[in-house]
Structure 1
Amino acid sequence: MTETIDHTDLSPLRLFGTSPGNYSLILSDNHFGEATDLFEAVGQEGGGYSWDAVAHTAVRIHAPELADRIGGFDPEAGMMCVYGEDEAALRELGLLLSSAFHDRAKLAALIEATDPGDWD
């Protein structure tokens, strides 16, 4: 059974305890539509793979110290997923992404800063 961690400041992302000592940070497709236009402006669809690229960019630009603390990235078309054993690292990334999600200028800046090779 998964454990939902109550971090309302991460909205619309969700942080789950998936098993003892393992966590997943998720952004599901029911929220993608709110920013599709920003992704489409750079020729991307705005789905899980696009948000994965933005998550990589957020780490690279704003929190490079998280790179070694995050277990991995496992996006699907319908969701962005970041996982690992370090709940605090995932929460910090969640805060960065939540802030960008709610501030179109921040999100647009992350999208523009994404390396072409990161788009999947």
Structure 2
Amino acid sequence: MEQTAFKEAIKPFFWSEHDATASLCLEVGSYRTDLFATRADEGFEGTGYDWASLADVFLAEQPAAMQQAIRFDPEGSMFCAYSADKPALQRFALDFKAACDDEERAQALFARAELD
């Protein structure tokens, strides 16, 4: 996929290239706040840590090679996934965004997320 089309497809996530790695990030509060609100009584606020919990459930369903390649480094205000395997991170970005856009799938994944 052409880089401009890829970056458009993953919005509001954004892609950042580094020398040996790449990152997929999201400023919290800009996307799917409704999803996290469904479990606010349990302490979910939609922080970067909450996003990492959701992404972790998603990643657990992916092939072992992708699981080994992707790492998370969230902060309170930002979700961040990174990898030295840029193609694996691109695949994760597209698939995770599609899962988050799919209401039924997002709810099913989030139901299994654990508060960090």
Q: Identify the TM-score tier after normalising by the shorter chain.
A: 0.7 to 0.9
- Deviation, 1:55, is 0.8
**Greater strand percent: which structure?**
1
Preserved contact between residue 13 and residue 25 of structure 1 (Cα < 8 Å) = yes
Aligned residues: 111
Task: Report the secondary structure of 2:12's partner residue.
Answer: coil
- Is the deviation greater in 103-112 or in 32-41? 32-41
For residues 69-90 of structure 1, the C-alpha deviation after alignment (integer angstroms, 9 at most, x for no partner) is 12x2110111110112111111
Preserved contact between residue 69 and residue 89 of structure 1 (Cα < 8 Å) = yes
Residue of structure 2 equivalent to 1:105: 104
Preserved contact between residue 37 and residue 44 of structure 2 (Cα < 8 Å) = no
CA distance in 1, matches of 2:11, 2:30: 10
- Deviation, 1:23, is 0.5
CA distance in 2, matches of 1:27, 1:36: 15
- Deviation, 1:34, is 4.5
Gaps of 5+ in 1: none
Gaps of 5+ in 2: none
| Residue 29 of structure 2 is aligned to residue 11 of structure 1 | no
Q: CA RMSD in A?
A: 2.0
Residue of structure 2 equivalent to 1:29: 28
Task: Report the secondary structure of 2:44's partner residue.
Answer: coil
Residue of structure 1 equivalent to 2:91: 92
- Is the deviation greater in 19-28 or in 34-43? 34-43
For residues 5-59 of structure 1, the C-alpha deviation after alignment (integer angstroms, 9 at most, x for no partner) is 5312212211110x22210010112414343323426541121111101111111
> What is the TM-score normalised by the length of structure 2?
0.81
> What is the TM-score normalised by the length of structure 1?
0.79
- Give the fraction of aligned pairs with identical amino acids, expressed as a percent: 25
